[in-house]
Structure 1
Amino acid sequence: MKIAFTSCFSAQSFKQQPVWTQVGASGATHLVLLGDSAYYDADGSDMGAVKAMGAHDFALHAFGRLRDQLNQKEFAKLVRNTSLRIHPIWDDHDFLWNGACGAQIEGQPSYRHLLDPTRAAFRAYRDALDSHDPKTFPKPADGWNLGVAEPGYRTLMLSNANDPDGAVMLHLTDGRSYKTKGGEDAVLGKAQMKKLTKAIEASDEKTVHLIASGLTFEARHGETWMDCVAEHAAILKLAATRRILILSGDVHENRFAVPWPTGPWSLFEVTSSGAALRTAVTIGALQCNWGLVDITKDQVSIELSQLHMDTRRRVIDRKKWKML
């Protein structure tokens, strides 16, 4: 089973996005998009302007950015590939703006009116990806729905124990709706962490768990799970008895994290970010970054592809859950 993953791309300045052609040729049957499918607060816009928008203007803005991405030539062709399922989560730039924390936005009357349109825009984007037809995404005249729920936590069994590749479970997290900053930091929040914990603990110990996260787990700068001591520790505790690989984005680079020694096994993390942009969105080195996880009954192979660089590869022994 092959699962591709990447994050951070913008159709505003990057009209050509060859990364999607590469993904399509990889043989992957799943693609996980780890956030920032558009940049509402950059690339021709700015945070101040976005914060000043009313709900209607923000809806036009957000829907427009996601519509442009769905209509981008290489991406649209990939979406129409019915042998590939695409699973998006959101992060700050396709939620509201850089560093926005949903739990705190809920309590701010100046910005709370933006939650309805951003949830509606992301739901429509997810629905269009599920339909394999970019044309199903709403047109500007269609308006947008009120009362759409946040993406929240979802889990998918990509394969079960009877499949040749063994059981693989994908956990799609929502690291924005319940996020806080300052005081008792949270990434997922108590309710979402409870669901994630229950799903992993209820699984057979041979199951491979892929946790999709917009934020990196081990980074010691920027936004990271390490800001939230309780949730960070909870994931490490789960990894002591279950096979967990975190797929993360956000940082506009590809990298392997040093495995966390959590007990008899290790927690692994691999990051791929910068599918179609530059290091600082429109400034710096051009990025064309993506990753591929190939899972068999014996091992988990991970490849990271980057523009003008050799593909980097790591292999995990599935039975021992140790790096080979």
Structure 2
Amino acid sequence: MTDTRPAPRSDFSDRLRHPVPHLFVYAFAIVPAIALVAAVPLAWGWGLTWLDAGLALGLYVVSMLGVTVGFHRYFTHGSFTANRPLRIALAVAGSLAVQGPVRHWVADHRRHHAYADAEGDPHSPWRYGTSPAALVRGFWHAHMGWIFDRSLTDQRRFAPDLLADPDIDRVHRGFTVLTILSVFGPGVVGGLVTWSWWGAFTAFFWAGLVRVAVSHHVAWSTNSICHLVGERPYRARDRSTNVWLLAVPSMGESWHNLHHADPTSARHGVGRGEIDISAGTIRLFEKLGWAWNVRWPTEKRLAKLAARPDEPAAA
């Protein structure tokens, strides 16, 4: 029976996660991480095949763009309008990243923006204070500690539009099946292509476990690193920063300062050399006629948001 008791923070959460799926949260956060730690010595010992690498890279790009373009810029912030097939495809692709069902993800992120780096933010690294010990504890909390909290952000408050969408409801409810396909599907493909159990195992290891772990920690770094260190060329009411090192693996999400200054913008990386793969993907969808009403940043808007010369560039 589902535990529906109000969580301690009843103004943000309407229920607690059932113990069984909560165990899977631990499993899918910890097991892929162990695989990631083991990846380097194992690769040195028995190698990484081109099939494993291709499956891992392909699934990484599809699932990460599903999160960055779909869960984040589209579902959470409405940076563009999408036709029905694209909307469903983005919800499915984002679910393959195994970062949680679409409604949970969106509700958490909208709450993050409503209370960024303040009381109520589900994953601020500044939660415990500014001392070195507090920031170490805060980094762990922002990076992945927060996902182990059983309380679930109230979807009726933070994601009522998705609750009313029957297509998204089906994708949300199908998260378990999509997770199984995402993690174990590569092993099936590897086994069929190589016609061996070893080929199935290596594809499962690299394109299933390791790929999920890498995507998890890149995504979580936006919550932790991109609120602790980096540049702040735009004015935001929180401590969000730009971290260039994460730009490519995060698909442009690490240009996080502009995103918090202008959350509905379809492009986060606007400066010279600021690679934003997600924005390029949205541009492609726009050209294909699958997306419209795209909220591209304008020079006037960026000038208004730019930090004043007398303001510090970093927190």
Normalising by structure 2, we get a TM-score of 0.30
- Would you tell me which structure has more helix in proportion to its own residues? 2
TM-score using structure 1 length? 0.30
Structure showing greater Rg = 2
Greater strand content: 1
